[in-house]
Amino acid sequence: MSGHKEIGGSKISLQILTEGFENPDGPRACTSRCCLHGVYLDPTERDQILSCADVVEKYLDETQTKDRMKWFDNSEEEDSDFPSGKCVSTEVYNEKCVFLNQKGQCVLQVAEIEEKMPTLSLKPYYCILFPIVKVNGVYQYDDLCFGESACCTASRMRDEKMVEVCSNELRHALGASKYDEVLGYYRNGIVGGKNQRVEGNVQSEMSFVRKDEINARE
């Protein structure tokens, strides 16, 4: 589904408001399939991980490498969806993200927990958000694992939508108060079959319409 809605200053894809996941638990039933590919991250996130490399190394297993030069592809790309306006990526090692262990666990998150570090101090922003991603300023569903893993495959047949299932991810992205505003908008809305609603120059075939907007028209 194309199009988005601006709510509380945040641009939210209509798909997040109108679709759920093939596995109704979505990322709560994560199989780590998405982690195989690695992730794009801000250079400042890379630098933070490298500053804690001695700690991270403690939790690597035999399927991973302690050679820090193999942890990141440092080719910087311009990308306005990252705080610095640039991004790099983690490397893939042994056919999985260099930070994914043989149990399917992110060692960055393991290190945070075991070392009692501040929550989410090492795990990259877009790892936390997945399967939500920000593209050109719009928060939307990332179809990286569509059809491969039910936890990350979008479905229109679920009653619980991404905006609810991905509450933790969206709270991290938007902040608690803005997420509550988006959730409130969703809970006061309906999907209007043939109704048309325009966002900028994008028109969605299946639009999200608030009940109070419909009442105002009657």
- Higher pLDDT among residues 188 and 139, named by residue: 139
pLDDT tens-digit map of 163-187 = 999 999 999 999 999 999 999 999 9
Return the percentage of the chain with pLDDT > 70, whole number: 86
Question: What sign has the CA pseudo-torsion 33, 34, 37, 42?
Answer: negative
Name, in order, each residue with C-beta under 8 angstroms of 18's C-beta and a sequence gap of 6 or more: 1, 156, 161, 191, 206, 208
The full 3-state SS of 37-89, as one line of letters, equals HCCEECHHHHHHHHHCHHHHHCCCCCCCCCCHHHCEEEEEEECCCCCCCEEEE
pTM of the predicted model over 0.85? no
Inter-CA distances, 184 with 3, 9, 86, 149, Å: 19, 14, 33, 29
- 34 neighbors 85 (Cβ within 8 angstroms): no
Report pLDDT for 10.
94
- Mean pLDDT of the residues in the chain: 85
**What mean pLDDT do residues 75-83 have?**
96
Report pLDDT for 2.
63
Question: What sign has the CA pseudo-torsion 59, 128, 83, 1?
Answer: positive
The full 3-state SS of 159-175, as one line of letters, equals CCCHHHHCHHHHHHHHC
Report pLDDT for 54.
97
Q: Is the pLDDT of residue 40 over 70?
A: yes
pLDDT tens-digit map of 178-214 = 999 999 999 987 444 333 333 333 333 333 343 344 3
Q: Is the pLDDT of residue 48 over 50?
A: yes
- 197 neighbors 204 (Cβ within 8 angstroms): yes
Specify the DSSP element, H or E, that contains 208.
Answer: strand 207-210
